């Protein structure tokens, strides 16, 4: 056993020889970003060990070590969103707690017994050291990491609840109702349910029925509360999408409307003439900065927007500091600008001759650039999203151009330039000018569920009404996906 000192976070006195520093950090609640989950592929879990920079997932404990951690920048987490009017009729009396568990972030809302939002707290998902996307986390869960991931998210949610209660001047035992929404993976991991159903065909959902149980089963801090189990639409379209449908009242839409939540998975719902369908497409984490050479969260030092001035790419950096990387909205803008300036062609190939280590690049700021592989990663992500929109439209017997309104959910959808998204084909060009940012509708839908027990019953009714599409099984999916990967010059 050795001593490993994590600068600023304390010392692990009995560190096991042969264990990776990333694994040791996970065990001691020390965050190190590892989008690939510790597979040694992303190169983003760098630390300094005894003064030398290296990957924490590859460096094993072989003696007493001093580890300097990278600075974790504050990330702006979206909490506001569109919310339909709802009556106050909760499952039982008391204060109301509502959670939105995202793959990247977690938000907790605390509402008074009168339904007024009194406090809101948020954090990065503490499961992030196990991978940036749900697939990586599922793989880690099946390799004996399920219990620590469940513990990590429950402890994080408990911390948020305690902060909210302190702000409101109450104790957690005064909370009467707790609602939690998230994608199926996040919901099941939080509830401690086996995720094998998400790792193999037919990827069926486990949470098929709306239920009301004791919250203390999952969050002991809420000793007197009832917990709302929000049903999933499919194995990859979860309670967060259902919450968004409730928050936007998509099920009432008179005009053809598309709701899209672009994250590591792209969850979508489309309604036309009262008929509603939903799907999920594996966009991957590229649009959130992972799998991108200099990809990062939307935090201080991130390039978040790019435009062209006098024929040159001009970048805006959050905090007006030297650029450290580029986040999703910046990547979308950059590719749109590069297309307009013919820096890349319709196949995504970089036309300039600038290279680093034999790979073509496009410089953005000193030390920050976009690589040819970065562009390929975005092409796969945007191809998946756009193909999903096209195939959903086809399923309902309409053309994409008949979609009259598009609601973009989540932080990425709110910070992303919609015109840039249409320019690169992340969303079909026909939808330009019809797009509105809806904000954190998963969070607002979770609040509605806590406030009105009728919303949970409505969720169960909608579950019977929504037609789920398994995109990969649709005729022509591969052809459509390949077509949508390209750009229009």
Domain residue extents for the chain: 2-68, 95-248
443 pLDDT higher than 70: yes
Query: What is the layout of strands, in order, in the sheet containing 312-317?
Result: 312-317, 302-309, 325-326
Supply the pTM of this predicted model: 0.84
Q: Does domain 95-248 have CATH number 3.40.50.280?
A: no
State residue 76's pLDDT score. Answer: 61
State residue 284's pLDDT score. Answer: 64
32 pLDDT higher than 70: yes
Structure confidence at residue 204 as a pLDDT band (50, 70, 90): confident
Residue with tokens 């039982």: 92
What are 77's two structure tokens?
């987490």
State residue 232's pLDDT score. Answer: 93
State residue 49's pLDDT score. Answer: 82
State residue 179's pLDDT score. Answer: 97
> 2-68 and 95-248: same fold?
no
Residue with tokens 């050795």: 2
Separation of alpha carbons 489 and 476, rounded Å: 24
37 pLDDT higher than 80: no
For the chain, the average pLDDT equals: 89
Structure confidence at residue 64 as a pLDDT band (50, 70, 90): confident
Cβ count within 10 A of residue 479:
10
Please report the DSSP string for 214-282 in residue order: EGGGT-TT-TT-EEEEPPPSSSSS-HHHHHHHHHHTGGG-SS-EEEEEESSSEEEEEEETTEEEEEEE-
Cis? peptide before 227, omega within 30° of 0: no
Which one of 3.20.20.110, 3.40.50.2300, 3.30.450.90, 3.10.20.740 gives the CATH number of domain 2-68? 3.10.20.740
Average pLDDT score over residue span 126-147 = 87
Structure confidence at residue 229 as a pLDDT band (50, 70, 90): very high
Structure confidence at residue 128 as a pLDDT band (50, 70, 90): confident
Cβ count within 10 A of residue 144:
8
State residue 70's pLDDT score. Answer: 65
- Bigger pLDDT: 57 vs 454: 454
The answer to whether the beta carbons of residues 233 and 468 sit under 8 Å apart is yes
The answer to whether the beta carbons of residues 278 and 268 sit under 8 Å apart is yes
State residue 480's pLDDT score. Answer: 92
What are 333's two structure tokens?
């803008």
Structure confidence at residue 74 as a pLDDT band (50, 70, 90): low
């Amino acid at each position: 056993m050795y001593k490993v000192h994590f600068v600023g976070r304390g010392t692990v006195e009995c560190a096991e020889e042969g264990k990776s520093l990333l694994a040791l950090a996970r065990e001691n609640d020390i965050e190190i970003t590892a989008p690939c989950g510790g597979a040694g592929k992303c190169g983003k879990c760098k630390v300094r060990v005894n003064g030398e920079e290296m990957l924490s997932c590859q460096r094993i404990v072989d003696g007493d070590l001093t580890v300097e951690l990278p600075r974790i920048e504050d990330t702006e987490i979206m909490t506001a969103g569109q919310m339909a009017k709802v009556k106050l009729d909760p499952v039982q009396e008391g204060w109301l707690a509502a959670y939105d568990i995202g793959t990247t972030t977690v938000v907790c809302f605390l509402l008074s017994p009168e339904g007024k939002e009194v406090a809101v707290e948020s954090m990065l998902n503490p499961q992030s050291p196990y991978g940036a996307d749900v697939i990586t986390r599922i793989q880690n869960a099946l390799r004996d990491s399920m219990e620590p991931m469940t513990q990590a998210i429950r402890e994080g949610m408990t911390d948020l609840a305690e902060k909210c209660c302190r702000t409101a001047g109450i104790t957690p035992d005064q909370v009467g109702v707790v609602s939690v929404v998230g994608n199926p993976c996040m919901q099941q991991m939080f509830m401690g349910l086996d995720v094998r159903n998400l790792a193999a065909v037919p990827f069926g959902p486990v949470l098929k029925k709306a239920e009301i149980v004791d919250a203390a089963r999952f969050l002991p801090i809420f000793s007197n509360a009832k917990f709302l189990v929000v049903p999933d639409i499919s194995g990859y379209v979860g309670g967060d999408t259902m919450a968004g449908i409730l928050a936007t009242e998509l099920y009432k839409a008179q005009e053809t409307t598309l709701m899209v939540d672009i994250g590591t998975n792209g969850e979508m719902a489309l309604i036309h003439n009262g008929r509603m369908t939903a799907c999920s497409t594996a966009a991957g984490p590229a649009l959130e900065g992972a799998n991108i050479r200099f990809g990062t969260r939307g935090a201080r030092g991130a390039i978040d927007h790019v435009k062209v001035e006098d024929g040159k790419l001009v970048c805006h950096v959050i905090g007006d500091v030297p650029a450290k990387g580029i986040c999703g909205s910046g990547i979308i803008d950059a590719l749109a600008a590069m297309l307009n300036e013919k820096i890349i062609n319709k196949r995504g190939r970089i036309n300039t001759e600038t290279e680093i280590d034999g790979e073509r690049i496009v410089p953005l700021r000193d030390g920050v650039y976009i690589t040819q592989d970065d562009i390929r990663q975005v092409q796969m992500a945007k191809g998946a999203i756009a193909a999903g929109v096209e195939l959903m439209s086809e399923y309902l017997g309409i053309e994409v151009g008949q979609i009259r309104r598009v609601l973009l959910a989540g932080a990425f959808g709110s910070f992303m330039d919609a015109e840039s998204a249409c320019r690169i084909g992340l969303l079909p060009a026909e939808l330009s000018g019809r797009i509105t940012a809806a904000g954190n509708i998963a969070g607002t839908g979770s609040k509605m569920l806590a406030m009105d027990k009728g919303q949970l019953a409505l969720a169960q009714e909608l579950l019977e009404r929504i037609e789920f599409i398994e995109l990969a099984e649709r005729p022509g999916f591969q052809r459509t996906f390949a077509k949508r990967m390209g750009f229009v010059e």
